[in-house]
Structure 1
């Protein structure tokens, strides 16, 4: 069984026990939902911040829609963990109620959004990612939090896990051990990068907000572009993917062929 059910993983809780041993809150809560692109944004976004809070809106799906992302600082354990949808909306409305800019419109759209998401931003740290025939993948086993290569890391992990399972010829214990050994350094680098996300996503002071805003204003200029590309790729490319050789005989009619790592 592969547990790929995210930060709130039921598989992790059922197999590995008390969830509080593994989750580390980053002091940040986040809400994400889609809404009409009422500002006609064209492959761009806008940001509004006050100390401890950030509201943003970005174009999405070919500019046909927009995505709202709202961040705010929160004490560890705060939020709507394992709760229903309505309490999360109420928390966001209470935190951002009375703010200026387009925040009132964002909150109005939030109540109508069918894909509303809300939770505290957390990392998951575990000594092992498998137990018997159960293995965790992606955020379920090693969530990094915002900026922690969550989606890309999960794709990388799926590729390696699938390759190692096939290469081990049914020996899942060997496959799980190699999968974890190959990914540990990569995951650690991603989690380290995301550990201070709150300082950028919801700066605590006006000074830090102004510093972040100046950073964004510099983005169009070439020197800073090179730095951003380097930062983006630093952890994302911190792993060399194995190449798994698939024999020609491996097809639907012959499921016994092995895949050997090159």
Structure 2
């Protein structure tokens, strides 16, 4: 057991995997393009026994419970502020909800004692040899690793290098999502309030650790857009175009957008990779089976990291057998969860008729209860107890 592993990406999947591999005796290096941990992002949630069991076995469940936002109830309103739909906190927040930055920091700290981090760098080349995978980096010197894991998101660099161009694997689902911080001028607590216009959602959310800060969240329907993901001004212009003339609180949102120093904008998309492994390189999390929103990607990421590390340990580092077992066990679960992402854009930013149908259905308590139960079923999985099994070897 053991060996040295390169993990590309210090997000949820990458930090969770680093922790588990270190526990099983691997030497782990994580390379991350950002200069430090990414602290921003929306709240993320866990639901169902499989998610909570993995967090408990990881040793972070109680710490995350202490950071739990408590979830946020949601309201949808029309341009006059009149309520159209109310959603309970458990619909959007699951059983444990934390800010994404808090989750990444907790996972990072759990694995830090046995993990080397290379921030501000990225993979530029992968060459498989008899000794392993020779990796070149944008700034660091080339190194050889026994295994390489692409945990670098929907736009994975490792997937592009080892498997082929992104357009082979990533399907645009017809919507874009954006988020940024702004002053909490409505005094929102643990709640969100959003305006729907046909094909657009403009939402404000409270519950931030700083009560003076709120989250802006925008979803809009659009075909695949060509823009520079590093050009903040270009991205702001795309969002402003969609919010123009909507009324309600959108003028204040646009004013804050102009001064925002950090902004997330991306398509709502799905990754479908026919095989998750190529030689000694394997994909994890969104790089393998991502769904931008609504596909339980956070829970899938921590479950996938647990399974991949457990199978590598169980097969004593035989990566061919371990990768096959990992994919065989996890793919049906991941694809079942992904289906929620296919509908997410149309749910959040429906057309005129779709919005009327959504609100009419979800205002019925029985329909809401059914949807909550379906979410629990989708997150269910029979998990191997790797720590217990490996402790007796």
Shared fold (TM-score, shorter chain, > 0.5) = yes
Question: Out of 186, 197, 214, which is 2:333 matched to?
Answer: 186
Instruction: Give runs of aligned pairs for residues 71-110 of structure 1, distance below 5 A.
Output: 71-75=219-223, 77-80=224-227, 82-110=229-257
TM-score normalised to the size of structure 1? 0.86
Instruction: Give runs of aligned pairs for residues 1-262 of structure 1, distance below 5 A.
Output: 1-62=148-209, 64=211, 65-75=213-223, 77-80=224-227, 82-205=229-352, 207-215=353-361, 217-218=363-364, 221=365, 223-237=366-380, 239-246=381-388, 259=390
1:215 shift after superposition: 4.8
SS at match of 1:111: helix
Q: How far apart are the structure 1 equivalents of 2:373 and 2:282?
A: 32
1:142 shift after superposition: 0.8
Task: Flag structure 2 segments of 5+ consecutive residues without an equivalent.
Answer: 1-147
Q: Which structure: greater strand fraction?
A: 2
Q: Is the 8 A contact 2:296 2:337 kept in 1?
A: yes
1:217 shift after superposition: 4.6
Q: How far apart are the structure 2 equivalents of 1:144 and 1:9?
A: 13
Q: Is the 8 A contact 2:267 2:292 kept in 1?
A: no
Query: Across the two proteins, how many residue pairs are aligned to each other?
Result: 245
TM-score normalised to the size of structure 2? 0.58
1:169 shift after superposition: 1.0
CA-atom RMSD, angstroms?
Answer: 2.2
Task: Flag structure 1 segments of 5+ consecutive residues without an equivalent.
Answer: 248-258
Q: Is the 8 A contact 1:79 1:119 kept in 2?
A: no
1:92 shift after superposition: 0.4
Q: Is the 8 A contact 1:57 1:69 kept in 2?
A: yes
Q: Is the 8 A contact 2:202 2:219 kept in 1?
A: yes
1:7 shift after superposition: 0.8
SS at match of 1:29: strand
